């Protein structure tokens, strides 16, 4: 059984991660480098009624078809086991060389998704932020520490990654907005904008509660303050009907991000054209 103080209050999480760990050891053997817990359970702000459990498996070499199929079978069995945390737990299997520095040309890796399915997933610009979070706050459950596996990431890299996420995922959602019909996704969008605002300002990553407090302190006199409070307080089963306000907050955050990147570029390259 995996043992770490952060797991002690959550025995069901501890049991599921221990089963995953045992399966990985059996399948990958010497290719298994580390298992690291990240996300809110590692960095703070974990809420079992709202949060996912996030883990990273580092492998020595890229996962090939035979171990991939065995890992898929293991995760399929666990997701259908009826155990607590059979879903709402997600993880990626990334080989050492791809993890060290983010490479958009080598970003498709095996992944366990929140619904319990397992497959090959692209790991986009958000993995710049994830790597920072894992390097700074990841909790090693097995193997090497993340600081030896991930290169330092600069604040400017973080800000550029946030812009990439906003432009590739959130800006298109303003036109294809069906996800925002759901209260859960509205609350998720608000918290993601708060976290984006935090990273733009500090070059670091914060938990959702920390980012909400930070954003409220700086946006208290804006129309977004009440929306942030509502998003931070939302729990499963609660009503949230703020779709148009959420879309406005997304637009505001994208504009703020472009301004921050323009300022950053102007400092480095005076006279260069800015983002529109």
Q: pLDDT, tens digit, for every residue of 162-195?
A: 999 999 999 999 999 999 999 999 999 999 999 9
Structure tokens at 208: 């959702």
Residues 94, 26 share a domain: yes
Residues 27, 141 share a domain: yes
- Tell whether 274 is covered by a domain: no
Residues 255, 192 share a domain: yes
What does pTM read for this prediction? 0.85
Q: Taking 80 as the threshold, does the pLDDT of residue 48 lie above it? A: yes
Between CA 102 and CA 243 the distance in angstroms is 34
Residues 139, 261 share a domain: no
Q: How much is the pLDDT for 43?
A: 86
CATH, residue 75 = 3.30.460.10
Q: How much is the pLDDT for 268?
A: 64
- Tell whether 255 is covered by a domain: yes
CB atoms near residue 127 (< 10 Å)? 23
On average, the pLDDT of the chain sits at 93
Q: How much is the pLDDT for 7?
A: 95
Residues 43, 143 share a domain: yes
Residues 39, 126 share a domain: yes
Does residue 59 or residue 261 have the better pLDDT?
A: 59
Residues 160, 220 share a domain: yes
Q: Are strands 89-95 and 108-112 parallel, antiparallel or unpaired?
A: antiparallel
Residues 255, 198 share a domain: yes
Q: What is the mean pLDDT of residues 263-269?
A: 66
Residues 160, 139 share a domain: no
Residues 120, 43 share a domain: yes
- Tell whether 276 is covered by a domain: no
- Tell whether 240 is covered by a domain: yes
- Tell whether 212 is covered by a domain: yes
Q: How much is the pLDDT for 263?
A: 77
- Tell whether 203 is covered by a domain: yes
- Tell whether 31 is covered by a domain: yes
Which of 148, 172, 193 represents a domain boundary (last residue)? 148
Between CA 75 and CA 119 the distance in angstroms is 10
Q: What is the mean pLDDT of residues 197-208?
A: 92
Residues 144, 164 share a domain: no
Contact 138, 37 (CB under 8 A): yes
Number of domains in the chain: 2
Which of 148, 169, 185 represents a domain boundary (last residue)? 148
- Tell whether 275 is covered by a domain: no
Does residue 235 or residue 268 have the better pLDDT?
A: 235
DSSP characters over the chain: ----GGGTT-HHHHHHHHHHHHHHHHHHGGGEEEEEEETHHHHS---TTTPPEEEEEEESS---HHHHHHHHHHHHHHHTS--TTSSSEEEEEEEHHHHHS--TTS-EEEEE-TTS-EEEEE--THHHHHHHHHHHH-EEEEES-GGGTS----HHHHHHHHHHHIIIIIHHHTTS-GGGGSHHHHHHHHHHHHHHHHHHHHSS---HHHHHHHHHHHHTTSTHHHHHHHHHH--TT-----HHHHHHHHHHHHHHHHHHHHHHHHHHSTT-----
Q: How much is the pLDDT for 264?
A: 74
Residue range(s) defining the domain that contains residue 82: 5-148
Residue 108 makes CB contacts below 8 A (sequence gap 6+) with 120, 121, 122, 123
Between CA 41 and CA 27 the distance in angstroms is 26
pLDDT digits (tens, 9 = 90+) for 209-265: 999 999 999 999 999 999 999 999 999 899 999 999 999 999 999 999 998 888 776
Which of 129, 148, 167 represents a domain boundary (last residue)? 148
| Structure confidence at residue 273 as a pLDDT band (50, 70, 90) | very low
Residues 180, 48 share a domain: no
pLDDT digits (tens, 9 = 90+) for 84-126: 999 999 999 999 999 999 999 999 999 999 999 999 999 999 9
């Amino acid at each position: 059984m995996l043992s770490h103080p952060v797991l002690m209050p959550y025995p069901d999480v501890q049991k599921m991660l221990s089963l995953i760990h045992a399966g990985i050891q059996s399948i990958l053997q010497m290719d298994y480098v580390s298992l690291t817990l990240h996300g809110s359970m590692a960095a703070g702000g974990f809420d079992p009624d709202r949060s996912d459990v996030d883990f990273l498996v580092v492998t020595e070499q890229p996962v090939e078809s035979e171990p991939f199929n065995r890992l898929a079978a293991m995760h399929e069995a666990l997701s259908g086991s009826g155990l607590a945390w059979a879903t709402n737990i997600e993880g990626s299997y990334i080989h050492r060389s791809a993890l060290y520095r983010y490479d958009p040309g080598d970003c498709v890796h095996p992944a366990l998704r929140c619904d319990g399915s397992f497959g090959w997933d692209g790991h986009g610009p958000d993995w710049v932020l994830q790597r920072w979070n894992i390097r700074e706050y990841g909790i090693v459950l097995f193997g090497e520490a993340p600081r030896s596996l991930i290169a330092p990431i600069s604040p400017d890299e973080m800000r550029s990654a946030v812009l990439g996420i906003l432009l590739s995922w959130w800006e298109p959602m303003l036109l294809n907005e069906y996800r925002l019909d759901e209260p859960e996704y509205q609350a998720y969008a608000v918290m993601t904008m708060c976290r984006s605002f935090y990273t733009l300002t500090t070059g670091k990553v914060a938990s959702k509660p920390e980012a909400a407090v930070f954003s409220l302190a700086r946006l208290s006199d804006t129309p977004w303050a009440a929306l942030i409070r509502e998003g931070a307080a939302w729990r499963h089963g609660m009503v949230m009907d703020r779709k148009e306000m959420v879309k406005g907050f997304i637009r505001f955050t994208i504009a703020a991000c472009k301004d921050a990147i323009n300022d950053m570029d102007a400092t480095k390259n005076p006279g260069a054209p800015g983002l529109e």
